Structure 1
């Protein structure tokens, strides 16, 4: 039997050595044709699959059902071997990873092989959540075909509540960092990256009093740099279009005055307030129905105490702990998302 083993890039040689130790008769080819993160294993050991999966460096194990030349016609003929492994009441998808130059594309393989399998099995195609995945691994002049279960670990599944339902209505009010120009730029980058990572509705940079214009300028430059770097990663990683978070500057006290109007919820994170556990049920419900959730985050100093009277909630996220400036946004949003998700799931069950 033959397996395609996948690892992190650069870890294939380490994993290959462990495979040789675990399976005495294994023929192991690490980085076939120079492609990192891959190992081809051939063995007669019937328990080889279990032994390989005991190696932490191994990320995926694909048992090879058919091996043919890397030609579209030859790959399509493997449908005869694949079809008996997919029942009519299951869904499937064909996924192809092609390495090297060929006279066809991965989409060609998916379309042609998928059509033939569907013809033989009468099973439905499901590209998002298939019960079975026909995996085609093309390495140079060889194609290796397998059938594996749908992914065990998925980023996006129907049973997960989309966190953007909350974050799209969150406005972050962040006090700027001040002091050394280099430090202002550095903290600005971290805050800009954090705000963009959560795809919030808006980031407001809000000084509480007159401050040095050049220190503020460095902080804002840092926010822009951090936002740009995170946005570039999001564009490459996400299957949906990601917009840049709007960034504005406003006096802290004027933000409070304006945000008191309308169906808005004001939340201040501060150690002087009750713990999240004490208020989570009521807070979660209010966040669910609020038009906008406004979260105030301090920097070097906390939010001025006089503003507590105008907040709907003053919450202590971690008693006896004070967060570093760059940790304020992630800590607040992750904590609030947890209580929001719990409420949303309970509400779904009731309805």
Structure 2
């Protein structure tokens, strides 16, 4: 039987050598037609697929059920055989990876082959979470076709709750970093990447007192640079539209006055506070019902103690440890998401 093995780029030869050691009566083609990350294996070993999983360099094993010339007619000609593996009550999708030059596109294969399979089986097409996936791997002049079940590892599944349910109502109030200009900019970049990565509602840069304008300028420049770099990655990675996080500057004491008056949930991170397990139950409920969650994070020095009395929670995220400035945002958001998700599952909601 033939298998198409996928690896990280430049790990093909390593995987191939381990395959040679594990399997008898085996032919191996490394980087077929020069395409990296691929190994073609033809073996008579009945336990080959099981043995492949002993090799950590192998990322995916695709058993080849049909091999045909890389033409649209030839690929569609095996539709009847493919249809025997898909029941009417199942959902399916066709996914094509095309390598080389052809007179058709990957989308042409998906539409034409998918339409024929639907006609033969009366099964429903589901491009997001299909029960069966018809994989068409085209390498030059040959097309290798396989049928896979549900993916074991997948970014987006119905079982996962979207973390944006919490983060879209979170405002981060970050004290600016001050001192050396270069350090100010470097810390700003890290904070800019963090707020954009979590796609929070807003970032407020909040000095607690008069500070050097040029140090603040470098800090803000860094935030802009970090945010932009993360935003560009998100635009490429996500199948939905991504917005840039709004960023503003406001005096720290005025922020807490305004947010307190508007009855928002106020959280301050500080080593003098309570640990999350101590307040977990009430905090989870408050996070669930809050219209806005405002989180105050220090920089070089903590949030002034005089503000603690206005906070709903003062949280010590890791007792006997002090976080670096750039770690504050990821640490608190991941901690809060963990308990918020538990609350959503208790209520049987996806947080809509």
TM over 0.5: yes
1:53 corresponds to which residue?
53
8 Å CA contact 1:5, 1:38 repeated in 2: yes
Question: What are the equivalent positions in structure 2 for 1:164-313 lying under 5 Å apart?
Answer: 164-313=164-313
8 Å CA contact 2:24, 2:44 repeated in 1: no
Question: C-alpha offsets along residues 148-204 of structure 1, whole Å, 9 cap, x if unaligned?
Answer: 112111111111111101000000000111111111111000000000000000001
- Per the alignment, in what secondary structure is the counterpart of residue 274 of structure 1? strand
Alignment gaps of 5+ in structure 2: none
8 Å CA contact 1:263, 1:291 repeated in 2: no
1:336 corresponds to which residue?
336
Q: Distance in 2 between matches of 1:119 and 1:81?
A: 13
- Per the alignment, in what secondary structure is the counterpart of residue 203 of structure 2? strand
Q: Distance in 1 between matches of 2:332 and 2:348?
A: 24
User: How far did 1:95 drift?
Assistant: 0.4
Question: What are the equivalent positions in structure 2 for 1:123-162 lying under 5 Å apart?
Answer: 123-162=123-162
Q: Distance in 1 between matches of 2:84 and 2:90?
A: 12
- Per the alignment, in what secondary structure is the counterpart of residue 110 of structure 2? helix
Alignment gaps of 5+ in structure 1: none
Q: Distance in 1 between matches of 2:112 and 2:263?
A: 54
Question: What are the equivalent positions in structure 2 for 1:7-18 lying under 5 Å apart?
Answer: 7-18=7-18
- Per the alignment, in what secondary structure is the counterpart of residue 321 of structure 2? coil
Aligned residue pairs, count: 350
TM-score by structure 2 length? 0.98
Q: Distance in 2 between matches of 1:32 and 1:231?
A: 36
- Per the alignment, in what secondary structure is the counterpart of residue 270 of structure 1? strand
8 Å CA contact 1:263, 1:290 repeated in 2: no
User: How far did 1:24 drift?
Assistant: 2.5
Deviates further, 123-132 or 325-334: 123-132
- Per the alignment, in what secondary structure is the counterpart of residue 348 of structure 1? coil
2:21 corresponds to which residue?
21
Q: Distance in 2 between matches of 1:284 and 1:197?
A: 23
Q: Distance in 1 between matches of 2:123 and 2:57?
A: 35
Task: Give the root-mean-square deviation of aligned CA atoms.
Answer: 1.1
